Amino acid sequence: MMQIVKEGYVFVIIPFVFGLVLFIVGRCGIFLTIAGILCIFISLFCIYFFRDPKVKVTKGDNLILSPCNGTVLEIDENEKIIRVFLSVFDVHLQRSPVMGKVVSVEHKPGKFLKAMKSYAHVVNEQNVIVIENKDGKYIIKQIAGILARRCVTWVKPGDFLQSGDKIGMIKFGSQINLHIPKNTYIRIKRGDKVVSGITVVATLKKIDG
């Protein structure tokens, strides 16, 4: 059976039960029967949307992994920021890009513009997670969108994470921003598909001596 995150249970159970009732009650009426079938399909889609697939985390020194599944929307080489768009068909669970300690988790209220808007990452509601290790700070921004009205964070300040550990999810499509240290090489480009815990988005520069 497909594993789903706990936040998805209510979205799966309620439409399924409601749809089942409509289907049974409406067996003699085409409208209620169709409505019941649609509710059951919504329940099945939510199972797919809230899926939590098993991941074999990429291992290696100096690797920075993608915190999410999606399509690379923009890369700022100067500021070392990677922006990824999550469609409703992507896995919406996020993972830690590196090993490190969570130093802060902050919720910032805001708007709910489309995630594709160039300034959505500035004005939209978001959760900001800061992870720190010996190589620097890594900032993951869970950004809400027009459909994604809630970002869920599962970690708190003081938690110590391994690369690929689960840190949260966004409900129903939006954007993830990853800010990485300046001493890194970005290994992806705009338009690339990335997978959380698997795709290497950047590597740390080795310091000689």
- Catalytic positions are 174
Cα dihedral angle (112, 15, 92, 113), rounded to 10 degrees?
A: -10
Nearest-angstrom CA–CA distance, 70 and 89: 9
CA dist 66 to 26, 30, 58, 162, Å?
Answer: 47, 47, 10, 13
Q: Are 188 and 208 in contact (CB under 8 A)?
A: no
Cα(184)–Cα(58) distance, rounded to whole angstroms? 18
Q: Tell me the C-alpha distance between 46 and 40, whole Å.
A: 10
How far, in Å, CA of 83 to CA of 190, rounded?
9
d(Cα 178, Cα 176) in Å, to the nearest integer? 7
Sheet holding 184-186, edge to edge: 63-65, 200-204, 184-186
Distances (CA, A) of 101 to 133, 140, 157, 163, 199: 6, 13, 8, 11, 21
